[in-house]
Chain A
Amino acid sequence: NAGVTQTPKFQVLKTGQSMTLQCAQDMNHNSMYWYRQDPGMGLRLIYYSASEGTTDKGEVPNGYNVSRLNKREFSLRLESAAPSQTSVYFCASSDQQLVGNTIYFGEGSWLTVV
């Protein structure tokens, strides 16, 4: 019953450092997503991958890069972390990127940039 697994769960970075958030799903889903959650702003889409081999920008892509490594894995990279990237990051997946497909989320990664 793993579903969507993301690591690490907690991370503290210094400004300018880089890091990669890892995500894997075992539901054989085609589409994967990275969201960030900030107080009062709900969840905002950073990047998504509609299917293996494709990635697209979401609402707030600046400062991030992604890699869809294979059907199961979708990583998010911060090349030069900034305090504005302090947030909770959620990886998610859905069967297809279609209207109405339910998105299933990982447990979140709490990132602090100091």
Chain B
Amino acid sequence: AQKVTQAQTEISVVEKEDVTLDCVYETRDTTYYLFWYKQPPSGELVFLIRRNSFDEQNEISGRYSWNFQKSTSSFNFTITASQVVDSAVYFCALSGSTGGFKTIFGAGTRLFVKA
């Protein structure tokens, strides 16, 4: 079975703080992909990143960075110098061949960034 766990339900930080959103996954697949999506208050779901299971290099995009560690089955997301516009719900997701290639999502972490 595949599973994605985002243990942090809500996180509140003050602007300019760094914040890490945790994502732990379970899969028996050797080939799989991990994703992060952002859902701002307006409600749409915005794709942020996709990472395959063979690439454990960390990725940085501006203030966003992702740390993929197969040894701990984690794919954590860090926002550096958070801004109010980062306030959103963030979803981690997993796609693997088990379960017919369907993408499954974690429950989401709601991030509040206060000015």
- Among B6, B95, B100, B104, the residue within 8 A (CB) of A101 is B95
Give Cα distance in the complex from A102 to B37, angstroms. 10
Are A99 and B47 in contact, CB atoms less than 8 angstroms apart?
Answer: no
B97 within 8 A of A: yes
The range of chain A's interface size is 20 to 34
Is A64's beta carbon under 8 Å from chain B? no
Please give me the residue from chain B that is nearest to A44 by CB atom. Answer: B105
- Chain B residues, Cβ within 8 Å of A44: 105
The one of A41, A90, A97 in contact with B45, judged by C-beta atoms closer than 8 angstroms, is: A90
Contact assessment for B32 and A108 in the assembled complex, using a CB-CB cutoff below 8 Å: no
Q: Does A13 contact B (CB under 8 A)?
A: no
**Which positions in A face B, CB cutoff 8 Å?**
35, 40-45, 48, 56, 58, 88, 90, 92, 97-108, 110
* B43:A97 contact, CB within 8 angstroms: no
Let me know if B32 and A99 touch, CB within 8 A.
yes
Contact A105 B50 (CB under 8 A): no
Assembled-state Cα–Cα distance A100/B32 (Å): 7
User: Which residue, B6, B37, B50, B103, has most C-beta atoms of chain A within 10 A?
Assistant: B103
- The winner among B35, B91, B96, B104 for most chain A CB atoms within 10 A is B104
A40 touches B33 (CB 8 A): no
Nearest to B102 among chain A residues (CB) is A45
Known: A42-B91, A42-B108, A100-B50. 8 other contacts (CB 8 A): A41-B107, A58-B102, A92-B45, A98-B101, A99-B31, A99-B33, A105-B45, A108-B43
